[in-house]
Amino acid sequence: MNSVTVRVPAKVNLQLAVGPLRDDGYHDLVNVFHAVSLFDEVTAAAETGMSVRVEGESADQVPEDDDNLAIRAAVALARHAGRPYGVSLAIRKAIPVAGGMAGGSADAAAALVACNELWGLGLPLDDLMEIAADLGSDVPFALLGGTAVGTGRGERLAPLEVGGTFHWVFALADGGLSTAKVYAECDRIRAADGLAVPEPRAAEPLLAALRAGDAEALGAELANDLQPAALRLRPSLAATLEAGRKHGALGALVSGSGPTCAFLAASAGHAEEVAAALRGAGVAREVLTAHGPVPGPAVV
């Protein structure tokens, strides 16, 4: 086999509950991940060394060296297999970079699937999940797709049954937000408030709305503990969220650490209406529609 192409979806967090700051600097999280139909494509081709090229959405902000998460995934897989495999990776990005939609994690997951195939390793999903957990807390979900609750740092996953398809609008912002800086701002805001931070828990009404496929109920339950911090660092996002609500979105929130904003719509047609209104309001660099849940990485 000379090359393998894998298509991999972005994620949005339907609930992101951030627990108290732990002594090791991390937070316990409850993370309801939902994969949506916004895809990167990773092509792995046989080569002796390791290399990566990136094209598409904000490609100039993605490293083309060993820092690239897809290359790190390929290196980790070769190490796991105990052989000096090589690969040339070509990434076509559509997922916003540093946008809170786990694009780098998606590329890492896609590289694991593509190299497993290219190198004929035949490793089961469980093995890839272990490697994924070492690469980053969002990578295991990126391998799984669908909708799932993540606990711990996000790496312990329980898939969820979802009773329908949800329709989304995503407002992309200029430039990214650093996930580390957003967590640090969240800690600062909480320290200044001086309130006790509860242990994170999945919200039962949100899980019930997912099971029922009830978009209206889900819209009311969307929640992101990082949102105040993302808004503090990027105040213009408040107007973006407000514009979506004003134009009839069932729910609006910052996706993960932002700055992408996500809006839930009642149907595919309604999503197009909300998207058109957001474009007209001039509150985003670009506005896209998508649906979820969608399956994880797939060879195309």
Question: Looking only at Cα atoms, what is the longest distance across the chain?
Answer: 58
Q: Which residues contact 41 (CB under 8 A, 6 or more apart)?
A: 5, 6, 7, 8, 91, 92, 110, 300
Among 17, 77, 102, 149, contact with ligand ATP (rule: CB under 6 A): 102
Whole-angstrom distance, CA of residue 166 vs CA of residue 284: 22
Q: Which is nearer to ligand ATP, 103 or 277 (CB)?
A: 103
Whether 106 has a binding-site annotation, put simply, is yes
Whole-angstrom distance, CA of residue 271 vs CA of residue 29: 29
Residue 95: CB minimum distance to ligand ATP, A: 7
Whether 258 has a binding-site annotation, put simply, is no
Whether 103 has a binding-site annotation, put simply, is yes
Among 15, 31, 43, 105, contact with ligand ATP (rule: CB under 6 A): 105
Residue 300 is classified by DSSP as: -
Residue 61: CB minimum distance to ligand ATP, A: 6
Residue 218: CB minimum distance to ligand ATP, A: 20
Among 22, 55, 63, 191, contact with ligand ATP (rule: CB under 6 A): 63
**Tokens standing for 262?**
């996500």
How open is the CA angle 161-95-272, to the nearest 5 degrees?
A: 70
Asked if 12 is part of the footprint of ligand ATP (rule: CB under 6 A), the reply reads no
Q: Are strands 3-21 and 223-224 parallel, antiparallel or unpaired?
A: parallel
**Tokens standing for 156?**
């312990």
Among 15, 31, 43, 68, contact with ligand ATP (rule: CB under 6 A): 68
Residue 262: CB minimum distance to ligand ATP, A: 12
**Residues in 162-191 at the binding interface with ligand ATP, rule: CB under 6 A:** 176, 179
Whole-angstrom distance, CA of residue 176 vs CA of residue 174: 7
Segment contacting ligand ATP by CB under 6 A, of 22-30, 97-105, 269-277, 291-299: 97-105
Segment contacting ligand ATP by CB under 6 A, of 60-68, 192-200, 226-234, 244-252: 60-68
Segment contacting ligand ATP by CB under 6 A, of 55-63, 185-193, 199-207, 217-225: 55-63
Cα dist. 211→121, 147, 204, 222 in Å?
Answer: 36, 11, 11, 15
Q: Is 11 a catalytic residue?
A: yes
Over the window 227 to 266, marking each residue x when it contacts ligand ATP by CB under 6 A and - when it does not, the resulting string is: -----------------------------xx---------
Q: Where are the alpha helices (DSSP H) in the chain?
A: 69-81, 103-118, 125-135, 139-144, 179-193, 204-212, 215-221, 227-233, 237-246, 268-281
Whether 101 has a binding-site annotation, put simply, is yes
- Crossing angle of the two packed helices 103-118 and 69-81, in degrees rounded to 10: 40
The annotation places the binding site at 96-106
Residues that bind ligand ATP (CB under 6 A): 61-63, 67-70, 91, 97-105, 107, 138, 176, 179, 256-257
Catalytic residues: 11, 138
